[in-house]
Structure 1
């Protein structure tokens, strides 16, 4: 009987030591639009703090053409409230997207739809 109590005590101690909230990376959905062509595509991926190339996420989507990824805007469409995503193109930071700032006009001109080549871009998200 004492051995059963000891085993049960050990199991209770083990379960109590496991955090209530496991630290797994949360998912985020990031979308690109090309208002010139009408193309739109979204990609879901883990917000694990690693660079994801735009080509790997969108290279076979409707915003891809001729081996390039073209978009006029970017947007977070599904995300945790603590999200922080940095979008870089050829090493230059284009924008940081958060739960409060979910949209970015890539060409910088809200009056025009000028597609930007994002073939050399990466996005890095963490929550």
Structure 2
């Protein structure tokens, strides 16, 4: 009888500890990874961005990546490399949307000409991401 109770309690304890809590899933669904690339120089940088709709300065975000040169960020394209269903991001500068990416259209050419790679100065630009 005692060994049966010990076995039951042991199985119960392991099954309770094996129940997923959802915390990992929740954390993974609250941010995307946003990449800026400069096809002229070959540089790129990626940063996790929270899906909180708060504008984040591009310079501050990417200042420790290879796309940061001479005090600013130069990039030719943007893309999501970690995608969350319903995610949407914009890059804005001077109240103009430079680029939009989302969970279905994950890549954006920044200079507006897909046939050329012209680096765009993203000094003063902001990235905002949210879950629609």
On whether the aligned pair clears a TM of 0.5, the verdict is: yes
CA distance in 2: counterparts of 1:90 and 1:120, whole angstroms = 8
CA distance in 2: counterparts of 1:40 and 1:86, whole angstroms = 18
Report the Cα offset of residue 89 of structure 1: 1.8
Q: Counterpart of 2:91 in 1: which secondary structure?
A: strand
Equivalent residue number for residue 107 of structure 1: 111
TM-score by length of 2: 0.75
CA contact (8 A) 1:91 1:121 kept: no
State the Cα RMSD in Å: 1.9
Q: How many residues align?
A: 108
Gap regions ≥5 residues in structure 1 = 1-19
Equivalent residue number for residue 51 of structure 2: 47
CA distance in 2: counterparts of 1:72 and 1:61, whole angstroms = 15
CA contact (8 A) 1:70 1:118 kept: yes
Equivalent residue number for residue 37 of structure 1: 41
1:20-46 CA distance string (max 9 Å, x none)? 978877011000000000001100121
Larger relative strand fraction: 1
TM-score by length of 1: 0.77
Moved over 3 A (4+): 20-25
CA distance in 1: counterparts of 2:128 and 2:22, whole angstroms = 23
Gap regions ≥5 residues in structure 2 = 1-20
Report the Cα offset of residue 84 of structure 1: 1.3
Equivalent residue number for residue 60 of structure 2: 56
